[in-house]
Structure 1
Amino acid sequence: MSSIIGNKLKISLFGESHGEAAGIVIDGLPPGIELNLEYIDEHMKRRAPGQSVLSTPRREEDKYSIVSGYFQGKTTGTPLCALIYNENINSKDYNEIKSKIRPGHGDYTGFIKYKGFNDFRGGGHFSGRLTAPLTFAGAIAMQILQSKKIYIVSRIKSIKDISDDDGINLHENEINRLTKMNFPVLSSDKLKLMQEKISEAKENNNSVGGVIETYIVNVPAGYGGPFFDSVESKLSHMIFSIPAVKGIEFGAGFDITKLTGNNANDEFIITNNKITTTTNNNGGILGGITNGMPIVFRTAIKPTSSIGISQHTVDLHEMKETEINVAGRHDPCIVPRVIPAINGAAALVILDLILERDGELWI
């Protein structure tokens, strides 16, 4: 299994894209948490393939089965395990990549690491299919955080060279609106241009990437730690577990290098008897610890690696250069479907940080 161990939560993913099922084990969830299954279903549906003409034709309902750690509607405190069965599989599309490695994928590195025994169908264990169980776990964490008025929301900051407007409103109504959108952007005009850009890539058997901007609101000051346990370190570790993520930046990010110290520093003020800052260039984190301002980060998502354009590659069995035209059903842009995975992954990190400091009694 692929595992990540927090100070309180331990998460393990297992399964392959074209295996019988993918699944997750969550260890460390406190007992007695009532799960809103409809809320989890909503997040799973937004990530699921086949929900839009701009996504892959592969259609999976992403129905999950909780097989342990859940009894009479509540968590038991023992490891919670959920399975998501793969139903709409067409493995014959992947016969060619048994020997021909796909550019941009983990085919070559997986072949080397696992000595040729890896399941190559649909990317196997390297597939974005494994973000389904991650989204499931994240939806549990999100509803726990929401019970304490901590919200996580993401919007599509850009698709290729089309950028959304600035000036996001972080009031609860706007957060709920964006959360329910399959293609969350602020500007309806930019939404149209972004979707046109994706449609153009699809028509040309190509793909595009983009940037997702995420806000975590109402996390109190004092969570996290310096150096190796910084909030940035933990979030980055988790976010980079999502396939196709190639970069992450916090607050003003790389643009902070264009500022001088007096502009980059977030000056402190008192608002309604609470210490806040006039700006948020540091993205709600100072010294690796939350400062009470919204945690802000942006994630770079690369163009979908599977494209219907002929590309140069190598045949591993014959050890010669050749060409490949990737068959199968693929997204021309995976950015919209990555959002629930990013939200859920971030929620797991924040929940672990809170449980570390405050313990189960926080819930």
Structure 2
Amino acid sequence: MASRDSLGEVFRVSIFGESHGPGVGALVTGVPPGLEVDEAYINRELERRRPGGPYASPRREADRVEILSGVFRGRTTGAPILLFIRNVDVKPGFYEEFRYKPRPGHADYVAYERYLGHQDYRGGGIFSGRRTAALVAAGAIAKLVLARYGVRVYAYVKSIGGVEARVEPRDSEEFRRAIDGDPLKCPDPEASERMRRLVEEARREGDSLGSVVEAVAFNVPPGLGDPPLGGVDALLARAVMAIPAAKAVEFGEGFALALMRGSEAHDSPRAVGGRIVHETNRSGGIVGGLTNGMPIVFRVAFKPPSSIPKPRRTVDLRSLSEAWVSGRGRHDPVIGPRAAPVVEAVAAIVLADLLLLREALLPGWVEDLRPWTRGEAGGD
């Protein structure tokens, strides 16, 4: 009956904690020794997803990490790293009503069945988005591993409520600032303004909106992955679909490929500077489960937050009679802006694991990556 709370093989992340318990955290194993890391760096990553602001939950959490092991004098030791983030602004009383009256769209009912009524129902317990803070903290460590290989990951809000950003992702600090400088994590100012008006309208009406997050990983070398079941797309899909409210994922052109002919859908390789690149990237940098050296591009669709003020019908599990609930508590009107840093962190964890696994299997392989890590191939 145990939960599956771990991700990765070599670089392995296990998360723990509940929404309204003492805190949430992550145990990260397989981290190479000597990486420079401190709490301030992880806190900056956490700042990108923490609650607060006009377009997020009003829950007031500082989200300050405590590194309890695995780091000594500012560098990783090679031992397991334990990261802990305390919950401060907890209000479990909000959720007593939902102990036996499951909220539509939430995991309340299925958790009741799965754990025989013993689940922590406060704020959704282990099903809460609160746990994603632990993933972001672990993802900060994963990004340090990626930096050794010159790999960088960016995630941003692609669409909200049908309003789509039109932007060309690029591997630059300017692109990073454009994402983080926007309250909705959308680097297209015009689209962001239209999205904001939609979010404000939905909030006034007591409703919520769906969203799509796009992630791009640059300078990923070719040949990563262990197909068929350990393909890079399969691993990324499994990981991101574990993020609360994620309902769909597509790579490259995704579902649009189903509308193309074979003559349109392929990516033709060519030689440039002694390396193989591709004229297009419709496959999103992954073919047959293996990376092809082009940027990895994928999108994750998030459903509208299920907690809304509007009353909705449910069932009282004690009497099996009809009941009604409304969205008490503090919730986001749209998930994408806070989910983008989580998608980025999860992608970093998966890629760090794949890179370290490849290096473990082929010692010295990293030396052959110098042109890739300098961005001389497989870039934009």
Tell me the CA shift for residue 180 of structure 1: 2.8
Partner of 2:34: 32
Cα 1:140–1:161 shift into 2, 3 Å: same
* Higher alpha-carbon deviation: 123-132 or 70-79: 70-79
Tell me the CA shift for residue 70 of structure 1: 1.6
Tell me the CA shift for residue 9 of structure 1: 2.1
8 Å CA contact 2:42–2:65 kept in 1: the answer is: no
Cα 1:59–1:83 shift into 2, 3 Å: same
- The within-5 A match list for 1:298-317 is 298-317=299-318
Counterpart Cα distance in 2 of 1:184 and 1:93: 29
Partner of 2:106: 105
* 3-state SS in 2 of match to 1:227: coil
Counterpart Cα distance in 2 of 1:311 and 1:334: 20
Tell me the CA shift for residue 314 of structure 1: 0.7
TM-score, normalisation: structure 1: 0.95
Tell me the CA shift for residue 131 of structure 1: 0.1
Tell me the CA shift for residue 117 of structure 1: 0.8
**Equivalent position amino acid for 2:50 in 1:** A
User: Which of 32, 43, 46 is the equivalent residue of 2:45?
Assistant: 43
- The within-5 A match list for 1:59-98 is 59-98=60-99
Partner of 2:8: 6
Structural RMSD (CA): 1.6
Counterpart Cα distance in 1 of 2:23 and 2:107: 20
Counterpart Cα distance in 2 of 1:97 and 1:177: 40
- The within-5 A match list for 1:198-237 is 198-237=199-238
Counterpart Cα distance in 2 of 1:175 and 1:269: 28
Counterpart Cα distance in 2 of 1:262 and 1:321: 55
**Equivalent position amino acid for 2:9 in 1:** N
**Equivalent position amino acid for 1:233 in 2:** A
**Equivalent position amino acid for 2:177 in 1:** R
Paired residues in the alignment total 361
Counterpart Cα distance in 2 of 1:247 and 1:159: 15
Partner of 2:24: 22
Counterpart Cα distance in 2 of 1:203 and 1:155: 25
TM-score, normalisation: structure 2: 0.91
Counterpart Cα distance in 2 of 1:219 and 1:169: 15
Structure 1 residue 262 and structure 2 residue 263: aligned? Answer: yes
Structure 1 residue 287 and structure 2 residue 288: aligned? Answer: yes
Partner of 1:148: 149
**Equivalent position amino acid for 1:45 in 2:** E
Counterpart Cα distance in 2 of 1:66 and 1:42: 14
Counterpart Cα distance in 1 of 2:348 and 2:233: 13
Cα 1:274–1:178 shift into 2, 3 Å: farther
Tell me the CA shift for residue 301 of structure 1: 0.6
Tell me the CA shift for residue 3 of structure 1: 2.3
Counterpart Cα distance in 2 of 1:184 and 1:272: 36
Tell me the CA shift for residue 10 of structure 1: 2.1
Counterpart Cα distance in 2 of 1:24 and 1:147: 22
**Equivalent position amino acid for 1:74 in 2:** R
Partner of 2:165: 164
Counterpart Cα distance in 1 of 2:215 and 2:188: 17
* Higher alpha-carbon deviation: 264-273 or 248-257: 264-273
8 Å CA contact 1:155–1:178 kept in 2: the answer is: no
Counterpart Cα distance in 1 of 2:65 and 2:212: 29
Percentage of pairs with the same residue: 39
**Equivalent position amino acid for 2:101 in 1:** K
* 3-state SS in 2 of match to 1:228: coil
8 Å CA contact 1:18–1:122 kept in 2: the answer is: yes
Counterpart Cα distance in 2 of 1:169 and 1:82: 31
* 3-state SS in 1 of match to 2:40: helix
Partner of 1:189: 190
Counterpart Cα distance in 1 of 2:275 and 2:199: 44
Counterpart Cα distance in 2 of 1:295 and 1:5: 19
Tell me the CA shift for residue 5 of structure 1: 4.4
Tell me the CA shift for residue 160 of structure 1: 1.1
**Equivalent position amino acid for 1:240 in 2:** M
Tell me the CA shift for residue 48 of structure 1: 0.5
8 Å CA contact 1:13–1:130 kept in 2: the answer is: yes
8 Å CA contact 1:225–1:287 kept in 2: the answer is: no
Counterpart Cα distance in 1 of 2:238 and 2:76: 26
8 Å CA contact 2:7–2:239 kept in 1: the answer is: no
**Equivalent position amino acid for 1:20 in 2:** P
* 3-state SS in 1 of match to 2:98: helix
Tell me the CA shift for residue 177 of structure 1: 2.4
* 3-state SS in 1 of match to 2:85: strand
Tell me the CA shift for residue 179 of structure 1: 4.5
8 Å CA contact 2:39–2:66 kept in 1: the answer is: no
